């Protein structure tokens, strides 16, 4: 009995205890995050490699608890997905992103596109398409200005509610983007099942691009398939001029990454676009 007791006790390592407390803390905090106005959106520009101008941006969520440090999405999005809290939070993201795009329009900006990350639990909601339509209407935006980013996991999901939502979005006229392409297990043939507009080449293929021949070949193949399927290509994680030039040569359409700008608050992206207009 003594031994057993020790074994049982060993299971709860300090690391495990820490993980449980941390997770509970995030979960509890997330429940009040919207009501306490603790969520923020940052925006990262997407740049045309041909013209070097900003043609779109991606909305990226930040959580600043009233008490405590800034929390990055990799730490709280998984918890939000598991608890279902991603549904109200994601709804807030859509509304805010649309509202911000309309504000930049009003400032006289070029009609850039807004990409918003959407998680699988959101796509399972039967009223998701309606909520997107509403967010667009409230902001007075044409549906084609909004790009819904989903990951490869939706291609493997057999849930019919998801395919119904994707078809609804297609009918509504929003753009559909496949995020983190090449990191999941979805085969290329799945790409034919839904009509995507944009394919985002994952950062892991871009980061070693300038010194890795295999990555160049991979990206060349991805771009060639994307062309055949009439998809626009966006390279993620562009951090240097060297990477940018190779991507341009390979015929990639857009780039996103620290080389152009980190994700920044709305005012700062507005500033960047104003700079372009005045140049
Ligand atoms: P993601 O959709 O793949 O977003 C791109 C991530 O790469 C962002 O991290 C961005 O800050 C980072 N990044 C951009 N350029 C560079 C670069 O040049 N170098 C490097 N090293 N990183 C770069 P972030 O903002 O921490 O977001 C992480 C993930 O959290 C996102 O990955 C996305 O999956 C998720 N996420 C963020 N906002 C939302 C949201 O509103 N809803 C949902 N469902 N997920 C979100
Ligand atoms: Ca994304
Ligand atoms: Ca991505
Ligand atoms: Ca990612």
Q: pLDDT by residue (tens digit) across 79-100?
A: 999 999 999 999 999 999 999 9
Query: What is the reported pLDDT for 155?
Result: 83
Strands 254-255 and 232-235: parallel
Maximum alpha-carbon separation in the chain: 78
Q: pLDDT by residue (tens digit) across 225-270?
A: 999 999 999 999 999 999 999 999 999 999 999 999 999 999 999 9
Asked whether this complex has an ipTM greater than 0.90, the answer is: yes
Token reading at 173: 């006229």
Which residue's alpha carbon is nearest to atom 23 within ligand 1? 237
Cα 180 to averaged position of ligand 4 atoms, centre (Å): 6
Kindly list the distances between the CA atom of residue 21 and the CA atoms of 68, 75, 159, in Å, as whole numbers in the listed order: 15, 14, 33
Residue 77 Cβ contacting ligand 1 at under 6 Å: yes
Are 168 and 205 contacting, i.e. CB atoms less than 8 angstroms apart?
no
Query: What is the reported pLDDT for 20?
Result: 83
pLDDT for residue 5 is more than 60: no
* Whole-number Å distance between alpha carbons of 98 and 94: 6
Are 101 and 139 contacting, i.e. CB atoms less than 8 angstroms apart?
yes
Token reading at 110: 């070029």
CA dihedral 133, 137, 142, 146 (to 10 degrees): -50
Q: Sorting pLDDT into bands at 50, 70 and 90, what band is 1?
A: very low
Which residue's alpha carbon is nearest to atom 43 within ligand 1? 117
Query: What is the reported pLDDT for 4?
Result: 52
| Phi and psi torsions of 176, nearest 5° | -125, 130
Closest C-alpha among 247, 204, 210, 240 to residue 226: 247
Query: What is the reported pLDDT for 32?
Result: 96
Cα 180 to averaged position of ligand 1 atoms, centre (Å): 10
* Whole-number Å distance between alpha carbons of 273 and 220: 30
**Residues linked to residue 254 through DSSP beta bridges, in sequence order:** 48, 234
Are 255 and 205 contacting, i.e. CB atoms less than 8 angstroms apart?
no
Q: pLDDT by residue (tens digit) across 155-204?
A: 888 899 999 999 999 999 999 999 988 887 766 777 877 889 999 999 99
């Amino acid at each position: 009995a003594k031994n057993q007791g020790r074994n049982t006790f060993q299971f709860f390592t300090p690391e495990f205890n820490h993980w449980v407390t941390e997770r509970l803390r995030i979960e509890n905090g997330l429940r009040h995050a919207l009501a306490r106005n603790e969520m923020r959106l940052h925006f990262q520009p997407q740049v045309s490699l041909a013209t070097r101008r900003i043609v779109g941006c991606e909305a990226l969520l930040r959580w600043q608890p009233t008490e405590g440090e800034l929390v990055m999405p990799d730490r709280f999005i998984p918890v939000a997905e598991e608890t279902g809290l991603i549904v109200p939070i994601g709804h807030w993201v859509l509304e805010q992103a649309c509202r911000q795009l309309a504000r930049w329009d009003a400032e006289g900006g070029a009609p850039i596109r807004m990409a918003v990350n959407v998680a699988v639990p959101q796509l399972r909601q039967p009223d998701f398409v309606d909520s997107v339509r509403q967010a667009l209407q409230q902001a007075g935006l044409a549906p084609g200005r909004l790009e819904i980013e989903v990951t490869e996991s939706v291609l493997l999901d057999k849930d019919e509610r998801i395919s119904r939502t994707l078809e609804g979005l297609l009918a509504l006229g929003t753009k559909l983007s496949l995020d983190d392409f090449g990191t999941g297990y979805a085969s290329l043939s799945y790409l034919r099942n839904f009509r995507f507009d944009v394919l985002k080449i994952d950062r892991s293929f871009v980061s070693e691009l300038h010194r890795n021949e295999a990555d160049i070949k991979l990206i060349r193949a991805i771009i060639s398939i994307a062309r055949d399927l009439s998809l626009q290509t966006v390279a993620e994680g562009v951090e240097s001029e060297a990477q940018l030039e190779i991507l341009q040569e390979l015929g990639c359409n857009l780039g996103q990454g620290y080389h152009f700008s980190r994700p920044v608050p709305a005012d700062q992206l507005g500033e960047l676009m104003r700079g372009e207009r005045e140049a």
